[in-house]
Structure 1
Amino acid sequence: MKRERMIEWLEQGSIALPKLLVNNYSRLGLNESEFMLLVHVHLSIESGNPFPTPEEISNKMSITEYDCMDILRKLIQRGFLKIEINEHSEMIGEKYTLQPLWERILLLFQQDEQHDLKMQSKHMEANLYILFEQEFGRPLSPIEIETLSIWVDQDHHDPILIKAALKEAVLSGKMNFRYIDRILFDWKKKGIKSTQEAKLQGQRVRQNNTKTSRSAQVDVEKSVNHWSNQE
């Protein structure tokens, strides 16, 4: 057999497995025999045989038919494999489905993703403590530390927006947690989710405050002039 023909022959019937399954089957609680048995069930289904017998599976593995039956039974009991009625065949029969396995892999992926997000959030929260202490020029009090945690864990404010709110407090000259909390509440109420939107809103607030301050100053000056003229 020529080398090219042999490679072509080897590539025929290749099976695709989720990378998450290959890399994490032990985390799912599967040993090597259970993993390979599921692989052969998957391959059999892909090849048009949705309900391979224990004998057919064991002939492709280094385990006995009895061991194969035992592993299949345990995999079904543990929720990795399921038997369903095959309604698409000419004669009503049974078939294996690996849907429970795929659902477990998806759950594992979601758990890993949530863990990564949680660790990322904790890292950003720690950076927030450092940033606030630098801007305040002192260590945060226990109440202030708790407030920061509430903003992140309970109110679910984006740490990036918390930093933006701190910046607005610095620009406004109002360095206190109550003012920053009001900023965050206002942004959440207005649906502000990006730093650009927060920056524009901050500019509008400062401009309005400046106009209000100027108006108040004009009123004071008018009042002073009025009383001066009466004298």
Structure 2
Amino acid sequence: MEPLAHALIYGGETTLANALLAHYREIGVTNDEFLVYLQFKRLMDQGDQFPDAAVVAKALGETTNTVFQRLHEMLAKKLLTIESVTGADQKIHDRYNFDGLYDKLVVALKQPERTTVTTNNTEPAVNPRQKVFTTIEREFGRPLSQIEMQSISKWFDEDHYDPDVIELALREAVLRQVYNLTYMDRILLNWQKRNLTTAQQVEAERQRSIEQRLNSAPKPQRQTGQNARPKIPLFKIGEEEKK
């Protein structure tokens, strides 16, 4: 047998539920996201539970950043989670979990009447969560790691931070040239403790703080006696001062 034929036969197969192939669009999965999922599933079926996004990008002919973008979108839709598990070596390892995709599929299949998602030429509405991911990546000047993606998702799913508030925290971090999520998390936690849960409340508190500092600043006093500044003569240069 030819080596190539042998590799094709024994290289393994990736199985997929026909129901998912038929209805993935109905649960909000785009064609691009589905292709990314297939590539990750291929690698995971081969034993790699946390595949390198660069490997997937190469297989798809895309950039690694594009693959991360698709992962962001699937995290936002709760089709994907990133878990930390203890491996056989007793160390903590991360792994992808796409169970959410099948959970949504089951719900869709139970619906008495399913409607197919249609597309048109109009631009889709911007997902606020996805906008946060994209903005942070742009300001940080690099793709987010899987752990960072998970941390941002927790801000939405567990802490329930408003997207606009997260972007304000990002602005604070960038102004101080601190490009990490830990600093942003401290800002968000501080605002939460002060019950600042909306962008309007944060901005109002910032303005109040500025006014308070201005009002408490010492005002300059008029100098008298020997320390007083000399008066400036009110005549033009070249003219004699009138007696």
TM beyond 0.5: no
Q: Radius of gyration: which is bigger?
A: 1
Q: TM-score, normalised by structure 1?
A: 0.44
Q: TM-score, normalised by structure 2?
A: 0.42
Higher helix share: 1
**Greater relative CO, 1 or 2 (CA 8 Å, sep 6+):** 2
